[in-house]
Chain A
Amino acid sequence: MTNALEVKGLRKSYGEKVVLKGIDLYVRRGDIFALLGVNGAGKTTTLECIEGLRKYDGGTISVNGRIGIQLQSAALPAHIKGGEAVRLFAKWNRKPADTSMLAALGVDSIANKQYQAMSTGQKRRLHLALALICDPDIVFLDEPTAGLDIEGRISLHEYIRNLKAQGKTIILASHDMAEVESLCDSIAILRDGEIAFAGTVIALTEKIGKHYNIQIRTGQGLETYESDDIRASLITILKSYEEKDTIIQDIRVDRGSLEQHFLKIAKGE
């Protein structure tokens, strides 16, 4: 099995409401994979089923390796200190109680700090440290950089890349498309409990990549055009300005952000 994760026909309902309608997912070993979708699309349910935290109604899930999980909604007792939490989880998993991983994550200061006094970013990194204690082959990260400042995001991204370099597979849920674009090898987009897109980030941009935004600034203001044939559109638009004898101050052409592409697929537009 070269895939770290294989999900086939995963189904889950909450009462009458069908949340997952038989989804298929494959994540290659050593990849950074992102599961995307608008709120309520079924991301968290999918991840929780894969992580073994939630029962599912049908389908199969094959996870090839030890897993470590950093949940978005996780907490620890208010009075526990960072170092104590690392030691507790390490001892329970029969692993060395090594608090140096807090230093590796840039939060060695929380070893003697109570959980209730930690910042959101410090808590997130502590939970990441706990997820890595059992030296997992596959690491699940749910919104890993939510609540972090820019510096925190950059250093955490670097840490995630280091994990990949160590051969670990990273599966993350994120709303931050810049994060996904810079980190991920492959993605899947969930829409209404079904996979609307699965593939590489490059394939996603290519899928809708023929769509262009054209912005032209003149003395009268800014005008925006959309086009699927950039060459023909530009010729037509420029000709029309020439005919009107309007001086063009600035022209910008872009292929649209990954965020726009994502929203189009996720919302079925």
Chain B
Amino acid sequence: MNGFLYGFTLQWKLDLRSRTMLITCYAVPLLFFAVMGGIFTSVMPESKETLIQSMTVFAVTMGALIGLPPSLAEIYRSDIKNAYQANGVPLSLGLILINISAFVHLLIMSAILYVLAPILFGAKIPEHLETYLGGLVILIAVSLSIASIIGLAVKDTANTSMFSILLFIPSTMLSGIMFPSEMLPQAFAIVGKLFPATWGYKLMTDSAFSLQTLCPLLGIFLIAVILCGVLLKRIRTR
């Protein structure tokens, strides 16, 4: 097994040992799903049509924005990065491995919701599986890229939580997963379009991929990747 593969399996194990990742990727989304899934489907039976998508967007947004930054800050805002640099391990390795590992955790969580929602709440399976899966993969990638900016940019671990929550709350409230976007005041609806959750949810519920929905997500992703590169370079060049 080469260094990269070993690094990935090791990161996977470290995530499982870390309470933060387990809580934010699995425990809280499942609890939210159990409570809100019941409420949504009893108050608004039509929410069964999009329950899988809305719960998945919540789980992905939470897992990425709340779960990832502390793991990154642990490496890049501490002496761990010194140990990496000093012993010939590329500084970008931590960023890449943590992102891949988180990606897999979020896919697993999404699969759990996909299986449980129809059984527990009679949720409707997405009609267009390819747009649902494509939208899910893109949403996870974009959410993780934004979370990576927080993890690399914020100077101390305590502040990561504050910035994460500042992004997480409007992401979930204004994306349309809690209540339809059409019901939001226009200003909030516009602000909501700044967050990937809004576009991810739209993509996952659409019948086909549309450039209009894909472009904002890809744009956010591109900007986030460039920013991560710049931040990593700044950390490396002392």
Contact = CB atoms under 8 A, between A and B. Distances in A.
A84 B89 CA distance: 14
A219 interface: no
- Which interface residue of B6, B75, B83 has the most chain A CB atoms within 10 A? B83
A88 interface: yes
Interface stretch (A22-30, A31-39, A70-78): A70-78
Nearest to A97: B6
Nearest to A133: B87
B207 interface: no
Given A89-B87, A131-B87, A55 B80 contact: no
Interface in A54-80: 54-55, 68-71, 73-80
Given A80-B10, A93-B88, A71 B79 contact: yes
Given A77-B14, A77-B74, A79-B17, A91 B83 contact: no
A89 B10 contact: no
Size class of the B contact interface (CB-based, 8 Å): 20 to 34
Interface residues of A, number: 31
Contacts of B237: 55
Contacts of B89: 88-89, 92
A91 B2 contact: yes
Given A55-B237, A75-B78, A92 B83 contact: no
B3 interface: yes
Contacts of B83: 71, 74-76, 127, 130
Interface in A69-120: 69-71, 73-80, 84, 87-89, 91-94, 114
A69 B87 contact: yes
A77 B75 contact: yes
A233 to B, nearest CB: 51
A80 to B, nearest CB: 6
7 cross-chain pairs, A with B, having the tightest CB-CB distances, nearest first: A92-B3, A69-B86, A79-B17, A75-B79, A74-B83, A91-B3, A73-B79
Interface of A: 48, 51, 53-55, 68-71, 73-80, 84, 87-89, 91-94, 114, 127, 130-131, 133-134
Given A71-B86, A77-B80, A89-B88, 5 more contacts: A55-B238, A70-B86, A78-B74, A93-B87, A133-B87
